[in-house]
Amino acid sequence: MAIHGHAIVSDDDHIAAADGTVPAVLRNAADWARFQAALDDAAVTVLGRNGHEANPNRKRRNRLVVSSSARGVERREDAWWWNPAQMAVETALTCAAPAGGIAAVVGGRQVFDLFLRLGFDTFHLARAPGAAIPDGIAVFSGVRDGLSADEVLARNGLVAGPSVELDPVAGVRLVIWRRERAQP
């Protein structure tokens, strides 16, 4: 399966406030439409338990929830649940999306960290300029350690594409980072 990450970040590379809520500065209609279309195209949405609980699955999308409470990979009433310490990612994705396709990884931080190690094929990083979220949740743990999100992606083998304007009024822009392919 193809692994595609998606996040919108503030000036200081945060994805949410400390309490897990998403502040208004990160809510942008153009980015939301892009994000929803990407989820519509995906065979499965992969997200952490907090994000799953905070965001009701109104469109009844196929979700794979990452949690230490799961036994391996298991089907629950609301979603597939997966414990990465007990089951390989390939097995979990095959259970959740047997026909293959795109796995859209939507965070939060620990889930983004996990897939940095497992390997993103692309990471869609949108930026909402003009505001920081002090003490917020960083998109990657490396940001807490002083790196920018761009530096974290580059250090994990991803290469930035062009910066595309999503919303000229709000100044929201999107960069798609892609895994660098080895030369034949």
Ligand X SMILES: NC(=O)c1ccc[n+]([C@@H]2O[C@H](COP(=O)([O-])OP(=O)(O)OC[C@H]3O[C@@H](n4cnc5c(N)ncnc54)[C@H](OP(=O)(O)O)[C@@H]3O)[C@@H](O)[C@H]2O)c1
Give the footprint of ligand X on this chain (CB under 6 A). 7-8, 15-16, 20, 22, 26, 47-51, 54, 66-69, 83-84, 106-111, 114, 137
To ligand X, the closest distance from the beta carbon of 75 in angstroms equals 17
**For residue 83, how far is the Cα from the chain centroid?**
17
CA distances (Å), origin 123, targets 68, 76, 104, 111, 149: 24, 28, 10, 13, 11
Sign of CA dihedral 86, 88, 93, 95: negative
To ligand X, the closest distance from the beta carbon of 128 in angstroms equals 9
Residue placing its CB nearer to ligand X in the complex, 20 or 157 = 20
- Give the β-pairing of 137-138 and 80-82: unpaired
To ligand X, the closest distance from the beta carbon of 116 in angstroms equals 11
Residue placing its CB nearer to ligand X in the complex, 66 or 96 = 66
Residue placing its CB nearer to ligand X in the complex, 54 or 95 = 54
Tell me which H or E stretch contains 63.
strand 63-66
